[in-house]
Structure 1
Amino acid sequence: MQPLAGTGPFPAPGTDPSHARTRPVHWIATAAALALVVAGAALVQPADATATTSAPHPPTSDGGAPDAHAAQYPLDCGRAAVDVVQKGTADFDGDGRPETVAVVRCHAQAGTPPSGVYLLTPPAAEGGRPKVAATLLDPAQRMSATDFHVSGTTVSATLLGYSSNDVPRCCPDKQRAVKWQWKDGKFALTALPAPGSV
């Protein structure tokens, strides 16, 4: 069965091929009609549509404070990861930009690795890492920090330690509540009375 004249991919036999060619005026008319459709689509948008040049950044719960998970800490964990155990934020120096205090330790399947407590300030450049500006508790002191809180310009915690190397690392037998108070541009450490002391 042959296709009907004018419906196939080629001109029907006996017709003049010059009539099958598209003339420039046809292309101009098609382009003008397409431009009207595009312009009409651009004008018909939802009332709340806005133009943006980049995706909006979601708000952070810490109000723009340094990300504790993005910092590089002075810990030697070998191949183990660094765990951010706790964190808190406050504008300690009153410059209008919050800082972060993070309790971190090396990841371990068993035992209780010593904690480090660090003050983080915002990165120096856009997209950089937060800077470790101060060490409140050095892991070399071989203590763990629990009951961590940030209130105003005070950081408080309970430090757990060991009376000797014979005490299993799972079970600290010493504890002391401490607080770091921001004064005169630095943290001052205060040890609260030991449990059971007068």
Structure 2
Amino acid sequence: MQTQTSDAPDLAHTHARPVHWLTTATVMAAVIAGAGLLQPGHATATTPAPHAAPAPDPAAAAFPLECAGAGTTVYKQAAGDLDGDGNPETVAAVRCASGSGTPPSGVYVLTRGARVVATLVSPDEALSVADIEVRDGVVSGNLLGYSSKDVPRCCPDQQRQVNWRWADGKFVRDGGSGTPAAESV
């Protein structure tokens, strides 16, 4: 029998040996394992969390104060969600701008659009507000007043701590004796 010889180079390295199969199997297993680890996670539809609107700006509000052309001054303010709707309201202590004395204050609740929605303290009560804050849906304030008409308007001689809570569709004042409930506008 005669063997045929090839003019091509020797292809002995093309014969598969067990070490070649083992190397190929190891590489393929690594590729498959890597592909399993790099698969994307389950797709889920998410709705972006709604962002609460910013608290109303009292500078943009029209307060129900009679100031005879003197203008108004917002001298205290605090913001927080008072009615549990997820949007903050602003509580503003406002008085007529004056050159001297301590004019009576009004304390108002503003909602979106800087709209006055409640009066917590009416200027008719002849009170001023030393401080005001909103915490956990409760408005707290330190009210200053006068024991008689003989006390100079610059120097209040009485004070009482009060709180307002939203209940049954209105703000209810507690604290201090004889204080009426706040009126809604």
User: Could you tell me the TM-score, scaled by structure 2's length?
Assistant: 0.64
Per chain length, whose mean CA-contact separation is higher, i.e. which structure has more relative contact order (CA < 8 Å, sep 6+)? Answer: 2
Flag the structure with larger Rg: 2
- Alignment RMSD: 1.6
Q: Which residue of 2 aligns with 1:93?
A: 83
1:147 positional shift? 2.1
- Check if 1:80 corresponds to 2:70: yes
Aligned ranges 1:107-186 → 2 under 5 Å: 107-123=97-113, 130-186=114-170
Distance 1:87 1:134 in 2: 14
Q: Which residue of 1 aligns with 2:18?
A: none
Unaligned runs of 5+ residues in structure 2 are: 1-51, 178-185
Unaligned runs of 5+ residues in structure 1 are: 1-61, 124-129, 194-198
Distance 1:91 1:177 in 2: 21
Distance 1:98 1:143 in 2: 26
Amino acid at match of 2:156: P
3-state SS of 2:124 partner: helix
Please give the per-residue CA displacement for 1:150-194, whole angstroms capped at 9, x wherever unaligned. 11111111111111111100011111111112223321111158x
1:83 positional shift? 0.4
The percentage of aligned residue pairs carrying the same residue is: 52
Amino acid at match of 1:91: D
Q: Which residue of 2 aligns with 1:187?
A: 171
Amino acid at match of 1:182: W
Amino acid at match of 2:115: K
Please give the per-residue CA displacement for 1:82-110, whole angstroms capped at 9, x wherever unaligned. 10011111111222221111011011111
User: Could you tell me the TM-score, scaled by structure 1's length?
Assistant: 0.60
Aligned length: 126
Moved over 6 A (4+): none
